[in-house]
Amino acid sequence: MAETIVSTLLVGMVLVGTIQLVGPVVRSGTVMSDKLVATNLARELSEEVSIKYFTSPKSGDLEFIGDETESRDLYDDIDDYNGLSNSPPQLSDKSVMTNLAGWRRTVKVEHVELSNPTNATGSYTGLKRVTVT
């Protein structure tokens, strides 16, 4: 009888320890999965932006950031992406990524100083920073 009680207690302690170990492992897997989704969402939109013209091919050399186009599939230069924010994220053809409800993608385009690209300026410098979050 004593052996049964001791072995039951021992199994119970091992089981509790295992459950305490599995919880953080499962949560860290979810965190890693979320980081992978976030990275891929940012990469996909960054690649889309990177194939666009630096300045608008329609209006000449200078383009003001914040130029809005009705539809994202008509964006022709990187400035058009400034202020883009979708939740849930969308593809360029406006199809919604319904499996990513609760996620948001935003884009910020800024002119930056040539000598210090970490500093944004309000005027054209020939250098732009595109931030996708």
For the chain, give every domain's residue range: 29-132
pLDDT in tens, 40-76: 999 999 999 999 988 887 765 455 555 554 578 788 8
Cα–Cα distance list, 93 to 43, 67, 70, 85 (Å)? 17, 19, 12, 15
pTM: 0.69
Contacts 24+ apart (CB under 8 A), 20-24: none
pLDDT at 64: 54
Q: What is the pLDDT of residues 80-117, one digit of tens each?
A: 999 999 999 998 888 898 899 999 999 999 999 999 99
